[in-house]
Amino acid sequence: MQNPVSRAIYKTMINFINIHKLGLEKFNFIFLLLLILSIPTQETPKLIFWSLYVISSLFLLITSSQKRKWDLLDTLIVIWMLSGLIVAFFSGIQHKEWSGSTDLIIFTSILLILKKSDTSYDNINIIFYIILLSTLVASLLAIWQLVYLNNKEFIELHSVGHVNHSAIYLSLSLAVIIAILYTKWKTSRIASRIFLLSIYASIAITLVLTDSRAAILASVLLLVFFLYLFRKQLSLSLILISILLFFTGGNYFITGGGIIEKQIDQVERDIFFQARIKIWRSAILAWQQHPVFGVGIKNYDQVSLDNLLAWCDKGSDVCNPDDYLPYAHGHSLYINTLTERGLFGFFVVFINISMLIFLIYKYRPDSTDNGNYIMLWSAAFGMLFLNLIIGLFNTTLHHENALLSMIVIGLWLGKTYGRAE
């Protein structure tokens, strides 16, 4: 049995930790908000706030008196987190594979931490609005850069980069405002409805200006799904779909461009998806040389035309340089993952995604769930849906897009497992 002095010292230490935990919890939440604010606009602050958030979160989780049990999904996420390091060690090409593995560590660590946490719905609402604020700020900066600096051909969010990746980020943010609209529309006043629709319209028109067919089409499909899911709110569904289609059509009729013109032009020139087919053919050939662990994350751009033709010759095929197109990435979540990470990395990624899909279905909301849970589930579903659909034609689930997706999905997992316990 402890003596009185030992008990007094122990109680003093516990009280000291608890007092400081209250302050650290506030800072921890602020670090997460600052991370979200910096995701689409600033690179270095993003890494700083991620580090501060992870360190403070680990301390809070370790000292928590109500620790959540370790489960299968936790193990799968950790394997996902470490798989990049394994791929880097065995990668077929040596270049940026170790740097590429850090991207996995960043977004999977956020997913795991948020899953093991229980974020209040009040804080989740704040997080969602900060996501929208950061996207709107990044969009305004991108438009200003495009119009006044005239040094970009398309709209690109500063930290996200290439127009296709920026379009993916915008579509993910659109899913957040759509989730908010569907769950808060009935209880909102006219002014609040106009405010929310204004945010939706601002992100939608920026998305349309990217001319990304995959991102715009996937967003329309998401709205069609929500039209079915929230079929009692038919008028809202029609408003949201009409706004997005109106901007898409307006961009074509006013500027003579946009995804409609792009599609018509490619069909008329008989080059519909021709470039992507060449990229995918190149990717499969590169994967065949390193089937188990791939060429390494971030090493896709090191596959040259000379490499491709040499590999083709080795296979005794008739090699035509016009059949291949080396590129920065595989223009597909599925093919890019296979080429950069091989069968090992591909299996790790998609066993995790399959588990998330199963959980999204298992814990789908019903009539007894409150609006906050329905909002959170809808946003998490939107993240998975958009990454997988856009991922057919563009490389999703990496860098800023993966980080935003894992924040939303992690928040949902945290509340879902909290309800199940």
Reduced to 3 states (helix: H, G, I; strand: E, B; else coil), residue 94 is: coil
| Helix, strand, coil tally for the chain in percent (to 5) | 75, 0, 25
Distance CA 151, CA 167 (A): 18
Count of alpha carbons within 13 Å of 135, Cβ hemisphere only? 30
Domain end (from 22, 41, 67): 67
Judge whether 283 lies within some domain.
Answer: no
- Pair (140, 1) in one structural domain: no
Range of the domain at 15: 1-67
- Pair (159, 216) in one structural domain: yes
Judge whether 320 lies within some domain.
Answer: no
- Pair (77, 63) in one structural domain: no
- Pair (246, 147) in one structural domain: yes
- Cβ atoms of 391 and 162 within 8 Å: the answer is no
- Pair (202, 238) in one structural domain: yes
Count the Cβ atoms, other than its own, within 10 Å of residue 277.
14
Tokens of 64: 């928590």
Domain end (from 12, 43, 67): 67
Judge whether 322 lies within some domain.
Answer: no
Domain count of the chain? 2
Q: 100: exposed, middle or buried (C-beta count within 10 Å: 0-12, 13-18, 19+)?
A: buried
pLDDT (tens place) for every residue of the chain, 421 residues total: 456 655 555 454 444 445 456 678 999 999 999 999 999 998 889 999 999 999 999 999 888 777 788 999 999 999 999 999 999 999 999 989 999 899 999 999 999 999 999 899 999 999 999 999 999 999 998 888 877 776 566 788 888 988 899 999 999 999 999 999 999 999 999 999 999 999 999 999 999 988 889 999 999 999 999 999 999 999 999 999 999 999 988 877 776 666 666 666 565 555 557 888 999 999 999 999 999 999 999 999 999 999 999 888 776 667 888 889 888 888 899 999 999 999 999 999 999 999 999 999 999 998 888 999 999 999 999 999 999 999 999 999 989 999 999 999 999 999 998 665 5
Judge whether 54 lies within some domain.
Answer: yes
Count the Cβ atoms, other than its own, within 10 Å of residue 256.
9
- Pair (6, 146) in one structural domain: no
Domain end (from 18, 44, 67): 67
Buried b (16+ CB within 10 A) or exposed e, 333-354: bbbbbbbbbbebbbebbbebbe
Judge whether 321 lies within some domain.
Answer: no
φ, ψ dihedrals at 28, nearest 5° = -60, -45
Judge whether 353 lies within some domain.
Answer: yes
Judge whether 405 lies within some domain.
Answer: yes
φ, ψ dihedrals at 126, nearest 5° = -65, -45
- Pair (245, 383) in one structural domain: yes
- Pair (146, 200) in one structural domain: yes
- Pair (78, 34) in one structural domain: no
- Pair (220, 187) in one structural domain: yes
Count of alpha carbons within 13 Å of 294, Cβ hemisphere only? 33
Judge whether 171 lies within some domain.
Answer: yes
- Cβ atoms of 348 and 108 within 8 Å: the answer is no
Q: At what angle do helices 234-255 and 190-209 cross, to 10 degrees?
A: 40
Say what the pTM is: 0.92
Distance CA 79, CA 320 (A): 40
Buried b (16+ CB within 10 A) or exposed e, 65-83: eeebeeeebeebbeebbeb
Tokens of 362: 């298992």
> 289-346, pLDDT tens digit by residue?
999 999 999 999 999 999 999 888 776 667 888 889 888 888 899 999 999 999 999 9
CA-based nearest residue to 173, from 153, 203, 152, 202: 203
Residues sharing a CB contact under 8 Å with residue 220, sequence separation 6 or more, in sequence order: 241, 244, 245
- Pair (235, 199) in one structural domain: yes
Residues sharing a CB contact under 8 Å with residue 26, sequence separation 6 or more, in sequence order: none
- Residue 212, phi-psi category: left (phi > 0), alpha (psi -120 to 50), beta (remainder): beta
- Residue 155, phi-psi category: left (phi > 0), alpha (psi -120 to 50), beta (remainder): beta
- The C-alpha angle with vertex 246 and arms to 243 and 251, in degrees rounded to 5, equals 125
- Pair (96, 179) in one structural domain: yes
